[in-house]
Chains A and B, each alone.
Chain A
Amino acid sequence: MQPANTRSGVASGDAAKFGVAVALAGVRRVFEPSTVVIERFDLNIAAGEFVAILGPSGCGKSTLLRMIAGLLETTDGSITLKPLLERGHTSFVFQDAHLLPWRTVLDNVGLPLELMGVPAGDRGKKARSVLEQVGLAGVEDRYPAQLSGGMKMRVSLSRALVTEPRLLLLDEPFAALDEITRFKLDSQLRTLWRERGMTVIFVTHSISEAAFLANRAVVLGRRGGRIKLDHTVDLPERTEELRMDPRYGQEMKSLLAAMEEE
């Protein structure tokens, strides 16, 4: 059930209906006493889009993501999701794995369902199936302390996916991993997005990661969340070969130019 047209910004077919559209209008966020982190921010994200938000540290991209997740209030402006989402339809992947160390892998992945009141049997089944999708079958009974960094991050990703979210928010999730592991996880995330068609907003400071993953890259300035570039990444399907492709280099070049411009 892979969509035929993978070059467009939106996963096609039924999958696109599964994702959610996000509209940010005049969003402003001030931290006490008077630090303006985000100033009048407008952005429309279509259902099923894979958007990378790219910017230097401290540019407000994480704040933006937390506001979209509803974890942080906006000072001004509005964030509208269409259709309105229910509990569990928005998932968030943090910078580090942030697993509960006293729970096994299976119970960590099942946690969101547990908090939503899903019975234990269903939880286990869903958690197992997501773990299998990210290539972690067989480690269900291990504890996080027994896993490598890459495995922990995959458990964290599974935990976000187990509720079948329609909006997946990721805050520099693979920044702490070594490059090979990161490449693998990038590909895995792309595949999952193509299969499921949820809307993905991926915050990163890595140009290469943004260009490889996203269909649309939004580059933010150093202050106030000003959009310096809103760019459609026009690349064929993302395989490991693409990393050596001159077209990929060209995309990185335009993103870099936007990042460097003052």
Chain B
Amino acid sequence: MSAAPGSTGRVARAVPSLVPLVVVTAIAEIAVRAGWVKAYLVPAPSSVLKAMIESRQELIGALLTTSTSALIGFLMSTLGGVAIAVFLSSSRTIQKAFYPYAVFFQTVPIIAIAPLLVIWFGYGTQTVVASAFIVSIFPVIANTLSGILSTDPALRDLFRLYGASTPVTLFKLRFPAALPQILTGLRVASGLAVIGAIVGEFIGGQGLGSVVDSARTQQRVDKVFAAVLLASVLGLALFGLINLVSHLTLRRWHASEQE
């Protein structure tokens, strides 16, 4: 490309990903207006936008509530997942004994146990956070563990040779070496935390999940779409945040962040 790198280049790079959005939105608008699709099944993008503006106060409040819960659940998964992975990595026996139970987080049908969470934690934030946490912790555990366990054996020898203790080896070698994989786990977990929060809110909380639920019962498909759209944007924002952290920490040394 002959243009100088900078803002023009950045805009040019964003164009390909915007094309499908514009095209799909336009097709949806035309399809609904032409009557090919019933408006009570799929609302026209323009009416979703209208619903968004009309209910902006309710939606912004709901978005903040969901964001808070998803973020707390996600942070708990991050800390808990990394801690559990460190524990599991300490010996093969411990791994054999406990790893199968960690997989439980992966397989648990969150929709089915959400009512249980309400019984344990009551209606409100706690249930929602618990739901976000349960759904999002497994990818953190799995990726961190795999990262820690695949540390270069030669470097482990090097640390042993100079008498490094287990905690020193963990913080100066195993964690940094596992960082790219930990971040991969966090990327997956960020999306799951939003899903977990929405599910929790369906059953026992405020926020976008409960907006979706109540709009559905009122046949307000446009409002359902507006809330779903905001939930997706929230997921994207979290994902973008992890990518930013990844870029800042890995850009100097990891192939995944180098051009």
Q: Which of B35-43, B59-67, B157-165 contacts A (4 or more CB under 8 A)?
A: B157-165
Contact indicator B162/A88 (Cβ below 8 Å): yes
Inter-chain contacts of A102 with B (CB < 8 A): 176, 179, 252-254
Nearest-CB residue, chain A, relative to B160: A71
Inter-chain contacts of A94 with B (CB < 8 A): 154, 157-158
The residue that A115 contacts in the complex, of B162, B176, B177, B253, with Cβ under 8 A, is B162
Cβ of A116 to closest chain B Cβ, rounded Å: 6
Contact indicator B168/A145 (Cβ below 8 Å): no
In whole angstroms, how far apart are the Cα atoms of A74 and B123 in the complex?
63
Cβ of B218 to closest chain A Cβ, rounded Å: 53
Nearest-CB residue, chain B, relative to A145: B253
Given contacts A100-B173, A145-B253, contact A87 B160 (CB under 8 A): no
Q: Does A91 contact B (CB under 8 A)?
A: yes
Cβ of A19 to closest chain B Cβ, rounded Å: 18
Inter-chain contacts of A69 with B (CB < 8 A): 157, 161
In whole angstroms, how far apart are the Cα atoms of A143 and B152 in the complex?
18
Nearest-CB residue, chain B, relative to A91: B161
Cβ of A18 to closest chain B Cβ, rounded Å: 19
Q: In B186-230, which residues have CB < 8 Å from any A CB?
A: none
Contact indicator A145/B161 (Cβ below 8 Å): no
Q: Tell me whether chain B's interface is mostly helix, strand or loop, or mixed.
A: helix
Inter-chain contacts of A88 with B (CB < 8 A): 162
Q: Tell me whether chain A's interface is mostly helix, strand or loop, or mixed.
A: loop
Q: Does A60 contact B (CB under 8 A)?
A: no
Q: In A117-151, which residues have CB < 8 Å from any B CB?
A: 143-145
Given contacts A71-B157, A98-B158, contact A115 B152 (CB under 8 A): no
In whole angstroms, how far apart are the Cα atoms of A152 and B255 in the complex?
17
Range, interface on chain A: 20 to 34
Q: Does B258 contact A (CB under 8 A)?
A: yes
Contact indicator B173/A112 (Cβ below 8 Å): no
Contact indicator A100/B176 (Cβ below 8 Å): yes
Cβ of A156 to closest chain B Cβ, rounded Å: 10
Interface string of B152-185 (1 = CB under 8 A from A): 1011011111111000100011001101000000
**Which interface residue of B158, B159, B160 has the most chain A CB atoms within 10 A?**
B158
Interface string of A153-166 (1 = CB under 8 A from B): 00000000001000
Interface string of A244-262 (1 = CB under 8 A from B): 0000000000000000000
Contact indicator A116/B163 (Cβ below 8 Å): yes
Given contacts A94-B154, A100-B173, contact A145 B159 (CB under 8 A): no
Inter-chain contacts of A163 with B (CB < 8 A): 162
**Which interface residue of A88, A111, A144 has the most chain B CB atoms within 10 A?**
A111
Inter-chain contacts of B161 with A (CB < 8 A): 69-71, 90-92, 112
The residue that B253 contacts in the complex, of A87, A96, A112, A144, with Cβ under 8 A, is A144
The residue that B164 contacts in the complex, of A66, A91, A98, A115, with Cβ under 8 A, is A115
Q: In A56-96, which residues have CB < 8 Å from any B CB?
A: 66, 69-71, 87-88, 90-92, 94-96
Contact indicator A143/B155 (Cβ below 8 Å): no
Given contacts A87-B163, A100-B176, A115-B163, contact A143 B157 (CB under 8 A): no
Inter-chain contacts of A116 with B (CB < 8 A): 162-163
Nearest-CB residue, chain A, relative to B253: A101
- Chain A residues engaging chain B, CB cutoff 8 angstroms: 66, 69-71, 87-88, 90-92, 94-96, 98, 100-102, 111-112, 114-116, 143-145, 163
Q: List 30 A-B contacts (CB under 8 A).
A: A70-B161, A71-B161, A87-B162, A87-B163, A90-B161, A91-B161, A92-B157, A92-B158, A94-B154, A94-B157, A94-B158, A95-B154, A96-B154, A98-B154, A98-B155, A98-B158, A100-B155, A100-B177, A102-B176, A102-B252, A102-B254, A111-B158, A114-B172, A115-B159, A115-B162, A116-B162, A143-B252, A144-B253, A145-B258, A163-B162
